[in-house]
Amino acid sequence: MKVNINSVHFKTDKSLDSFINEKVGKLSSIYDGLIGSDVTLKVVNSDKPENKLAEVRLLIKGYDLYAKKQCKTFEEATDSAVDALRKQLSKHKEKLKKH
């Protein structure tokens, strides 16, 4: 599965790229109908320390799954977004089994 990483107004380093590729790549073991994914990373202007935003869109046949999380680090935000998508994928698979 292809993972596109877009960072807004900054450049990601190799360790962050490999972390995201590894986390998002594991989702393909849950559901083999994944076409690709788009990950967008942003730094949000806020007074809180949780100013790192990760948006993950999974491209699957029919429609897309989407999760958006804001945390202290990009790794933490990506991790919680992937957890949310894992739940969405499980629900999607259950729906497919019922039909």
pTM above 0.85? yes
pLDDT level of residue 75 (50, 70, 90 thresholds) = very high
Query: Do residues 68 and 53 make contact, with C-beta atoms less than 8 angstroms apart?
Result: yes
Phi, psi of 44 (to 5 degrees): -90, 135
Looking at residue 64, its amino acid is: D
Please write the tens of the pLDDT for every residue from 52-61.
999 999 999 8
Query: Do residues 57 and 69 make contact, with C-beta atoms less than 8 angstroms apart?
Result: no
pLDDT attached to residue 33: 86
Q: Tell the residue number behind the tokens 């990373």, with chain if given.
A: 41
The domain segmentation of the chain, as residue ranges, is 2-98
Which of the listed CATH numbers 1.10.10.10, 3.30.2040.10, 3.30.160.100, 1.10.260.40 matches domain 2-98?
A: 3.30.160.100
Please write the tens of the pLDDT for every residue from 17-66.
999 999 999 998 888 889 999 999 999 987 888 999 999 999 998 889 99
